[in-house]
Copies of this chain bind each other. A is one copy, B any other.
Amino acid sequence: MPANKHINKRINKLVVIGVGLIGGSFALALKKARIVKQVVGVGRSRKNLQVALRLGVIDKAETDAARAVVGADLVLIGAPVGQMPGIFARIAPALPKHAVVTDAGSTKQDVIAAARRHLGAHFAQFVPAHPIAGTEHSGAGAAFPELFRDRNLILLPQKETNAAAVRLVRAAWLACGARIVRLEAAEHDEIFGAVSHLPHVVAFALVNQLAQRRDAKRLLGFSGGGLRDTVRIAGSSPEMWRDICIANRAALVPLVDGFISELEAARAALAVGDGESLEHMFRTAQKARARWLLKRK
C-alpha cells in the first residue's frame, strides 16, 4: 500500500471513540487515503456500531474505550464534548506511550482543560482539533469520506504538545482534504459561539416556538423553503448540542443577549410602524450576507 503524500508512515491502529458523522467520516477518509490499517470503533450504541461495521466504517467494534486503545497509534475522540472528561479518565491508564490522541469537539477550552486534568503526562500527546464540517444528520450511517474536503480544520496545539504528535494529526487531516488553521482556544470558542452555537440555539428555539402551538401541524404544512433552510440545523443531535452549549455558555450567554437586543430593536420598530429603521436593519444584514457569506461553501 503506498504512503499518502501527507504522511510518511501508516497508522496501524486507529481508534475512533464515538463513531458518528465526524468520527465515521474521519475513519472512511483515512481508509480511502490508505494510511490506516485497522479502525476500531468505540460507542455506547451497539446498533450504531453494527451499522459502522456493516458499512465498513470500522473493522472492529468495542464498547470499552480502555480496552480499545491498547496498541493504538492514533485515537480520535468524536463523542459529545460532555462525555470527554469521562473518556479521558477512562483511557489515560491504558494508552500506549506513543499513542497520539486528538478530538473533534466543537468547544475547545473545556476539552483542553479536561484533557489536562485527566491525561497526566500523556497530555503532551494530545492535539486538540475541531473540523468545521457537519450536516444535520447523525450516526455512522451518515458518514462519508469527503465530508472534510476543503473544510477548515482548527488545530490548537498547546505549549506542552509534542511536535511529532502535531505533525501526525495535521497529516491525517490533510489526507482528509481539510485546510489547517490555527487558533487560540478562547478565540475559537468565541468565534464558533457566534457563527455556529448561536445559530443552532436560534434554529432550535424557532422550531420550538412553532411546534408548541395547537395548530403546529397545519401551520408547518404551509411553510416553504425559507423556514426549511432557516431551521435545517434544528435537525442536529440534541445531546451533542446540549453539551456544546453548556460547555461554551460563558461565550454563548452574551451572544444570546445580544441577539435578543437585536430582536427587541426590530420589535420596537414594528410596534410603531417604523419602516425606515426596519429597512435599515434588513439592508445592513442583506449587504453583510452578500459581502461575507454568499460565496462561501
Contacts and interface: CB of A to CB of B under 8 A. Distances in A.
Interface in A239-294: 239, 241-243, 245-246, 249, 252-253, 255-260, 262-264, 266-267, 270-271, 273, 275, 278-279, 281-290, 292-294
A249 B268 CA distance: 11
A186 interface: no
A195 interface: yes
A208 B285 contact: yes
Contacts of A202: 202, 206, 230, 263
Contacts of A2: none
Copies held by the complex: 2
A257 B267 contact: yes
Interface in A189-209: 191-192, 194-196, 198-209
Among A134, A234, A285, max chain B CB count under 10 A is at A285
A47 B262 CA distance: 35
Given A243-B275, A246-B273, A260-B263, A297 B225 contact: yes
A220 interface: yes
